[in-house]
Amino acid sequence: MSLIRPTTLLAAALLASAATAHADDYKIDETHSFVQFRTKHLGYSWLYGRFDVTGGTLSYDPAKPEASRISVDVDVDSIDSNHDLRDDHLKEKYLLTGKQPKANFTSSAYKGDANGGQVTGELSLNGVKKTVTIPVKKIGEGPDPWGGYRVGFEGNLTIDARDYGYTYQLGEQSFFIELQLGIEAVRTAPARNKS
């Protein structure tokens, strides 16, 4: 009869534990997350503004970043360009928020390491869904003053508004919209091992 050494049992247990580990679950912190934008105004200058993030979830495991997933909800009707009349005009003529006030990004894949890479997923905007790839970078993670644990990321994406059914223009260059994404999330469930 052969004997199984304790070291062999320990190694097997560690491998099994690693195989069944799960990513941490996070809730998007709406008050510390945002989507900022800029686009050319008549081709002469930049128009800046922002949209509110209204919710979302994140699954993140720095030991297995390729398994990370994110879904973010954005209120397009919340556009703020620091001018109320312009915002009303943009909602009515450009963004058509009376029909489609919400947007969403849901990831399907991530390539990179725990500090940054590229996240691919589906951007739903104005009732149109397109696959996009967003370069992202981790800003940091750690405990907060209220006993929670947080992680933050940033990303950048340029879209052509015509791809999403927008046709009203403020100059040819106004169709190209540069988006800066800032996401902060609070851990709701720590990683755990399942037996």
Q: What's the average model confidence in pLDDT over 157-168? A: 95
Note whether 87 and 125 are within 8 A (CB): no
Can you tell me the distance from the alpha carbon of 83 to that of 68, in angstroms, rounded to the nearest whole number? 38
Residue 167 pairs with which residues in a beta bridge?
none
Residue 72 CB neighbour total at 10 angstroms: 23
Tell me the per-residue pLDDT of 164-182, one tens digit each, with 9 for 90 and over: 999 987 777 889 999 999 9
By CB neighbour count within 10 A (0-12 exposed, 13-18 middle, 19+ buried), where does 182 fall?
A: middle
Q: Which structural domains are found in the chain, ordered by start?
A: 22-189 (2.40.128.110)
Main-chain phi, psi angles of 144, to 5 degrees:
-110, 175
Question: What pLDDT does residue 18 have?
Answer: 40
Residue 109 pairs with which residues in a beta bridge?
120
Tell me the per-residue pLDDT of 102-153, one tens digit each, with 9 for 90 and over: 999 999 999 999 999 999 999 999 999 999 999 999 999 999 999 999 999 9
- Whether the model clears a pTM of 0.95, i.e. scores above it, the answer is no
Can you tell me the distance from the alpha carbon of 33 to that of 170, in angstroms, rounded to the nearest whole number? 28
Main-chain phi, psi angles of 97, to 5 degrees:
-70, -15
